[in-house]
Amino acid sequence: MFTKTSKLTFIILYVLLMFGCGSSNSTMEVATPDNQITPPNLPPPTTNTPTPDANYQTPTEIVAALGTGINMGNTLDAPSEGEWALAAQEYYYDAYKTAGFGHVRIPITWDKRVANQSPYEVNDDFFNRVEEIVDWAIERDFYVMINAHHESWLKNDINAEKRARFVAIWTQVADRFKNKSSKLLFEILNEPNGMTLEQVDSLNLEVLAVIRQSNPTRSVIYSGNGYTPAEAMKQADIPNDPNIIANFHSYDPWPFAGQCTRSWGSEADRLALREIYQDVSNWSENFGIPVIVNEFGAAMYDFTQPQNICNENDRLEYLKAHVALQKEFGIPGTVWCDGGSFQIYDRSSNTFSNALSSLIF
């Protein structure tokens, strides 16, 4: 039996319990580390890190596997295919493979094959032709590089509209080839002579960003400005991206390699060439960026002054010295071959010149 006092005590306890616990229709949730509330209208955070495909290779692995390569110059980089050299044929790639080359660079000039008005569409027939040639290389297990090559329309007096057109080109190229083998490498821009280093740095980042939208892990090649000597590469900003390869060109010294107005082969000549590769190797180690030299070579004659002819023995020794240094320092090269004064492979006869033994050994 309850007394008045015990009844009063019971009532007070009952009321406290009811207000303390709340009713079944009224709840409160406290945010704790294990029970966080997602703000309204905002999706929970997600991780958007792409998973590399099964054949993914790091840039360092790619550079180590490239071997010596060859340019198929004066072909798709000409105003029209066949205008500067014989048009590309599939059997060239069999010849490259049999000779022992490890990669092929396909220079491409897009300007005349792209609309001048937004959205700057690439011509379908040309796109199909580029893909056909790329597939010839991939089917033979080559590493293959495609780029934007001459593009003087962009390099001379670059402005916002030209940048937009160039970015649109790369957006389409990247999307077109996004499902190709990881052995296909993109090179942003060849020899941006006429552009400042700041302009090149900015353009590299803008193009790399659009490539990454469709090709998150494909290796991309970048360089400095001018004719992209080693010094320009070293001065260029390094994009903050794990899948990049730095690049330079070397026809040093040009009075020999391009103009055929002097000899080559002295101890001083060989030391100067070694210093280029040693310096680049030091830079590569310091910054952890793999490097290639996707143009090097020596002309048989100066095509602007054909009476100037390079000494054949000097030329062969020069090419061999390049390749020996490339192997020593782990900086693979791509010899310039254009069907003309820098010809290594004769397309019409399907034969290589004596220079082949200076390149593949």
Active-site residues, by number, are: 191, 295
Q: How far is CA 176 from CA 52, 122, 233, 316, 327, in A?
A: 18, 11, 28, 39, 34
Nearest-CA neighbor of 104 among 90, 86, 118, 85? Answer: 90
Nearest-CA neighbor of 264 among 219, 308, 314, 304? Answer: 314
Nearest-CA neighbor of 204 among 177, 230, 232? Answer: 232
User: Rounded to 5 degrees, what are φ and ψ at 106?
Assistant: -115, 95
- Characterize the bridge pairing of strands 351-352 and 305-309: unpaired
- Characterize the bridge pairing of strands 333-335 and 103-106: unpaired
- Count of beta carbons in the 10 Å neighbourhood of residue 34: 5
- Specify whether the CB–CB gap between 166 and 200 falls below 8 A: no
